[in-house]
Amino acid sequence: PHFIIYLPKSQKNVCFNIDSEPGKILNLVSDPESGISVNGQLIGGKKPKNGKLSTYFGKLGFYFQSEDVKVEISTETITLSRGSRTSILSWSDTAHLINQRVRVSLKKEKTVTITLDKEMSFSVLLHRVWKKHPINVDFLGIYIPPTNKFSPHVHGLIGQFMHEPKIRIFNERPGKNLEKPEASLEVKGHTLTVTRGLQKDYRTDIVFGTDVACWFVHNSGKGFIDRHYKDYLVPQLYSFLKW
């Protein structure tokens, strides 16, 4: 999974990858105060490519504790559960599921948008691949706007950046590869070496994406994210971070 964090005040994009294993669940947003958690479960490609198995988000879980609503989005179905009752839609439908404050809007074979009242929204994109591809598998992307109103203590791989950290990028210089400049990134008391690169935003073009230039933090975001990425592994799709 490729993370792109847009920092509105600094007007900069910072990106990092999390390289974990299929089956693991990463916490993206943990906000016990608002009662919201967002987690993503990893799946692997059909087989390794160049000795490396790619991982993607195959399932995303949204928990809205105050509504007792859980939304699970996989590459096949979209499930809304409230208490013990469930409604399931498939990606072949265009539909809306409305449960009091939570609205799930599904656009056939494209996106699911979850809104909580009108204050918060989350978009999930479906990436369908050619079924017979020897390596690639269907996967999901998630987009969370920085305007979402979380509590001051929200955390998670994405949530921690809702309250924007101060950063300073300086000393831009040629990198080891002349075409990939490097720079120094000062954040959270660390000074990190970052590399200029391009990531993709697929919201307007699901196949080719739109290039997003960003400063890439190596080693699974070490120094940019709080603690280590393994601290963001959670046991279930609706878990909150314990620490």
Query: Interface residues with other proteins (CB under 8 A)?
Result: 2, 6, 8, 11-13, 17, 54, 77, 80-90, 92-99, 103-105, 107, 111, 113, 115, 121, 123, 127-130, 133, 136, 143, 145-147, 179-180, 195-201, 203-204, 207-213, 216
Indicate the residue among 22 and 146 with the shorter CB distance to other proteins. Answer: 146
Please say which residue, 26 or 125, places its beta carbon nearer to other proteins: 125
Please report where in the chains the tokens 């490729």 appear, as a residue.
Answer: 2
CB of 100 to other proteins, least distance (A): 9
Q: Cβ closer to other proteins: 22 or 129?
A: 129
Q: How far is the CB of 26 from other proteins (least distance, A)?
A: 17
SS3 14: strand
Q: Which residue, 18 or 234, is less far from other proteins as judged by CB?
A: 18
Which of 193, 188, 190, 196 lies closest to 215 in space, CA to CA?
196
Rounded to a whole number of angstroms, the minimum distance from the CB of residue 242 to other proteins is 28
Residue pair 57/40 in contact (Cβ under 8 Å)? The answer is yes
Shortest Å distance, C-beta 150 to other proteins: 16
Q: What are the φ/ψ torsions at residue 65 (nearest 5 degrees)?
A: -65, -40
What would the two tokens of residue 12 be?
A: 């900069």
Which residues, at least 6 apart from 85, have a Cβ–Cβ distance to it below 8 Å? Answer: none
- What is the C-alpha to C-alpha distance for residues 75 and 11, in angstroms, rounded to an integer? 33
Query: By C-beta, is 53 or 213 nearer to other proteins?
Result: 213
What does each C-alpha distance from 51 to 14, 22, 48, 57, 220 come to in angstroms?
A: 28, 15, 5, 20, 19
Question: In this structure, are residues 187 and 196 in contact, taking their beta carbons and an 8 Å threshold?
Answer: no
Residue 243 Cβ vs other proteins, minimum distance, rounded to whole Å: 29
Of 32 and 110, CB closest to other proteins? 110
Cβ at position 152, least distance to other proteins in Å: 22
Give the C-alpha separation, 214 to 10, whole Å.
Answer: 12
Closest approach, Cβ 57 to other proteins, in A, equals: 13
Q: In degrees rounded to 5, what are phi and psi of residue 172?
A: -65, 135
Query: Could you tell me if 39 and 155 are in contact, meaning their C-beta atoms sit under 8 angstroms apart?
Result: no
Output 32 or 89, the one with its CB closest to other proteins.
89
